[in-house]
């Protein structure tokens, strides 16, 4: 179980770094497409959604790999 969490953390970390690199590398085409109007405004929204999913999953697995869990509260 611990190895699986560590593997997910590494894979999602590499994927997250890759997304940041692609955003940097393709900055000008992304900007030119998103400035064309019409339905192209969806491009930055889709990019933000992809970043949110990948980086959020990476962060969750990262903390789990370190053994840090959120405190659970039980209502009485």
Q: What is the pLDDT of residue 73?
A: 81
Asked if pLDDT for residue 1 goes beyond 70, the answer is yes
The residue length of the chain stands at 76
- What pLDDT score was predicted for residue 76? 63
Band (pLDDT 50/70/90 cuts) for residue 71 is confident
Q: For residue range 23-34, what is the model confidence (pLDDT) as tens digits?
A: 999 999 999 999
């Amino acid at each position: 179980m611990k190895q699986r969490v560590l593997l997910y953390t590494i894979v999602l970390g590499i994927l997250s770094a890759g997304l940041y690199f692609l955003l940097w590398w393709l900055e000008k085409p992304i900007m030119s497409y998103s400035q064309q109007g019409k339905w192209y405004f969806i491009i930055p929204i889709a990019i933000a959604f992809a970043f949110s999913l990948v980086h959020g999953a990476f962060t969750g697995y990262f903390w789990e790999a370190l053994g840090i869990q959120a405190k659970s509260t039980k209502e009485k």
